Structures are given as C-alpha cells and as structure tokens.
Amino acid sequence: MGANRLDGKVCAKKVESALNSRIRTLAEAGSQPHLAVVIVGDDPASHVYVRSKERACERLGIRSTRIDLPADTSFHEVLETVNSLNQDSDVDGILVQSPLPRGMDELAITDRILPEKDVDGFHPVNLGRLVQGRLDGLLPCTPAGVMYLLKDAELDLTGLKAVVLGRSRIVGMPMALLLAARGADATVTVVHSRTTNIKDHCRDADLIVAAVGRPEMVRSEWVKPGAIIVDVGINRVDDSSIDRGYRLCGDVEEEVESIASYMTPVPGGVGPMTIAMLMSNTVRAAEMRKTP
C-alpha cells in the first residue's frame, strides 16, 4: 500500500477559497491587494515561478505588477526599484525573486524591503518575530505552506522526531523553527552538508522535510517505514527521452512512496502551497496596511 498523498493542489484551493472573502471585505473598504514582483535576469525556472505567482493573483483578483530587470542591472538599481516600491502607497507586497545574478547581495536587498511589505517573510524583523514564536506575521511562504499541508491532513506532530534536510534561510531554517514552535511541538534536527551520518538521522525520523535541491538524494533505505515525507525539492534532470529535454524530480526518490505513511508529490505538493501562502501574505499585508 502506498503513502497517503499530501496534495498541495487541493490544499492550495482551500487556502484560495478562504482568501476570497477577505479580498471581498478589502474591496468593500475600497482596496485591492497589490503585489509587486521584481525579477532580475533570465533564469528560466524563476520566470516559470513568477508566471505562476501572477496567475494566482489573477485568479484571486489581486493586482500584480511585474518588474523585469535585465541581468546586467546594478545592485544600486535593484535597491532603487525596491525603494520606489516601498514608497508607493498602492503596493502592499514586494517580492524580489531569488536567485539574483551572481555576486548580487540578496541579504542587503531583503533588508531594504519594508518589513510590512515583505511578503516573502525574509526580512530580519519578520524572521526575528518567528524566532520569538510570534507566528501571526508574515511567515516565509514555503515553510508556512508545509505547516498548512500537515495541519490540513490532521497530522499531530507533537513529540515527533523531525529531520529538516537543508539550512537555507528561505526554507530549511524557518522550517525548523515552525516545526519546533509551540503548537507544532516536534523535536527538530537540522541536517546539512557538514552533517555526518545523514542517512542515520533520516532513518530515525518520523518526519523528513527535504529541501536541499539534490535530485532523489533521499533513498528508500534512508526512510523509516511509516514516516511522513515532505519533498520541497523541484529539480530539473536532463532526459533526452522527453521532448523538452529534462524531467522534474524531487529531493526524494519516488519509491519512498511505498514506505512512507504520507508523502507530497513533485510537482503538485509543496509548490502550489508556496504560492498560496504568498497570496495569503499579500492579503494579510493589505489588511495590516489598509484596515483600521
């Protein structure tokens, strides 16, 4: 018997339905949430992600403005773009798509976004609030989406041994904080490139969140029978047998599905939840800024 599917597409629809009434309430007060997305350069995957974010905005009646900057844009020009979006009272949320061109200081750009418009939840103020256990603000979208998916499946994480693979500021670190936060109450280990015996940590885990960007790194023999598996990875692997020349796969090999109790598909698992949480943060930012 295979794992129960943690279906991000279905769950994201629920998030969107719940947002509709909040967006209507904002409309009655004369305001429409407005997300500005800045994309620098022509990374193909980033363009696909940004297009998905725009489509979600269209579905929900959230205004979106996309600012496309060429790959040779200077750091100062990106900062100036952020400054002008900060000052634009009509813009509720600002997102600068990562990765930025090589050598550009992403943290300095994140620092510049006003915390109340930081719908990615990456600003030190928002991450600091998360460290303090204040979960009512703008939370990083992918980890928040994973928590929503687990909650929607009514999985009780209390006391579970959770292993987070990856320590990125976008996913791994905030994911570990959310899993360990009061209310979720998992016991969390963060595994990274310098960890010894990664396999043993995984094998001992009740819940694995894989966010390393390494195709099919987590093998069946790494997984305890009945574990919950969340695969954040979405990797392009060359495959000449497919017209487009590549296939998509996660950080977890598909065969794990026969061992796990619950598992996210790739694609259609965490990806749609990230976008749903971005929409949720944009609505929340609009509510915080526009309603008394």
Binding track, positions 19-48, relative to ligand GUN; x by CB under 6 A: ------------------------------
What is the secondary structure of 224-261 as a DSSP string?
A: -TT-EEEE---EEEE-TTSTTSEEEE-SB-GGGGGT-S
From the centroid of its chain, how far is CA 24? Answer: 25
* Active-site annotation holds for 132: no
Neighbours of 70 (CB within 10 A): 10
Q: Kindly write out the interface string for residues 61-100 of this chain, putting x where it contacts ligand GUN by CB under 6 A and - elsewhere.
A: ----------------------------------xxxx--
- In 41-175 the beta strands, taken as DSSP E runs, fall at 63-69, 93-96, 161-165
Between 270-290 and 141-152, two packed helices, what is the crossing angle to 10 degrees? 110
Is residue 141 close enough to count as binding ligand GUN by CB under 6 A? Answer: yes
CB of 2 to ligand GUN, least distance (A): 28
Of the listed 7, 53, 92, 117, which one is catalytic? 53
Interacting residue with ligand GUN among 126, 142, 281, 282 (CB under 6 A): 142
Q: Which is nearer to ligand GUN, 69 or 155 (CB)?
A: 69
Q: Are 200 and 163 in contact (CB under 8 A)?
A: no
Place of tokens 């900060």: 86
- The yes or no reply on residue 251 touching ligand GUN (CB under 6 A) is no
Residues annotated as catalytic (active site), given as ranges = 53, 97, 120
Residues near ligand GUN, by CB under 6 A = 95-98, 120, 141-142, 170, 274
